[in-house]
Amino acid sequence: MQRFSIALIAAAQMFIGCDKNDLENDLYIECGTRYYYYGTEKVFLTEISNMGSISFYDILSPEIINEILENHPEVEILSSPYNSRHYTISIDSKNCFETDEIFNSIKKDSRVSNCNKFLMTKESFTFGITDVFICKLKSNTTHDQLMELIKKNEVEILKQDTEIHHYIIRADKKSNGDALEMANTFFESGLFEYSEANLFGLFRTF
């Protein structure tokens, strides 16, 4: 994860001072366990239900964003970097199942690429993911092998530098998983030196 710069988000303040037991009762009900790779080591994460991210296919005006979300009063935009496709949101949700239902409804809009719940490490650091991941091919991996993975998992190459075998890939709502799942799938194929989701908003919650 060290290859992406991680931007701090002002929304971190909403968690500071919260009681951990209360958060566990309210946020982790029916929530899943995720992981990412730090080198070859798996780092495990827990989903939380009341904070997440939305990625759009294009950079949209605030008016259009409000139009997309007007039928979802339980969702509030917290922040977005300037000129970005990615928004941090809060969700008025009792558990992860309810959050998934809200996200499934939002993703019906053709302008929405993907929605993701925020994730927490065992050290209580919280962060989100976007709809992209970055990877670098091993020197002996062929272009055909890469394209087979791309097609199989229904992801899209956004940028590439073939001289250094470096790729930025989008995993949207039609892919076989979100950007974190696809980053892991690509790394576990053995064809890549690294494959990492784009993390943002790293902060301590307790």
Which pLDDT band holds residue 204 (cuts at 50, 70, 90)? low
pLDDT at 85 over 60: yes
What pLDDT score was predicted for residue 14? 39
Which pLDDT band holds residue 81 (cuts at 50, 70, 90)? confident
Tens of pLDDT, residues 14-69: 333 344 444 444 445 568 999 999 999 999 999 999 999 999 999 999 899 999 99
Which pLDDT band holds residue 79 (cuts at 50, 70, 90)? confident
- pTM attached to this predicted model: 0.84
Which pLDDT band holds residue 82 (cuts at 50, 70, 90)? confident
**Domain range list for the chain:** 10-129, 131-204
The domain defined by 10-129 folds into: Alpha-Beta Plaits (3.30.70)
Q: Assign domain 131-204 to its CATH superfamily.
A: Peptidase S8 propeptide/proteinase inhibitor I9 (3.30.70.80)
Contact 50, 91 (CB under 8 A): yes
How many Å apart are CA 146 and CA 166, to the nearest integer?
11
Tens of pLDDT, residues 131-143: 999 999 999 999 9
